[in-house]
Amino acid sequence: MKRFIIEFLKRGLISAAGGPIIISAIYLILGYSGVVDTVSVTKIGVEILTVTLMAFIAAGITAVYQIERISAFSAALIHGIALYLDYIIFYLINGWLKSNIDAISIFTAAFVGGYAIIWLIIYLITKKEVKKLNSEIGK
C-alpha cells in the first residue's frame, strides 16, 4: 500500500502542473472565439485549483496498475471508476456539466463508451504484440 501511495503522489504531482495550463488554454480559446469576455477572479481561482486536483487524481490513479495482487481487469475497473468520479465531480463543481439526469446520463454514456473503446484498442494492440513476441520466441 505504501508503494501505491508513493507512486500515486509521484504520478499526480508530475501531472498536476498540466491543470493550470489546460484551464488557461481553454479560457484563451473561449476568449479568442468571443464566447467569454471576462471571468471572475473567484471562478478562475476555483477552476485552476480543481483542474489541478483533477489532473493530479487522474494521473495518480494510474498507479493502480502497479499493484501486483489485483488482476488487470480489477485495475481497469478501479481506474475507470476513479476517473469517472474525478471528472463528474469536478465538472459539476465547476458548472461545466448541468446537474440534471439528462446531462449526467449523456456524460456517463460518453465516458463509458470512450473508456471502453480506448481499452479495446489497448487490448488489441497488446494482444498483437504478445502474439508477435511469442512467435519470435518460438523461432
- Write out pLDDT tens, residues 5-40: 888 888 888 888 777 888 788 888 988 898 887 888
pLDDT for the residue numbered 3: 85
Listed by start position, the domains of the chain span 2-97, 99-139
| Spatial separation of the C-alpha atoms in residues 82 and 21, rounded to whole Å | 22
Read off the C-alpha cell for 87.
471528472
How many alpha carbons lie under 13 Å from residue 94 in its C-beta half-sphere? 21
pLDDT for the residue numbered 101: 96
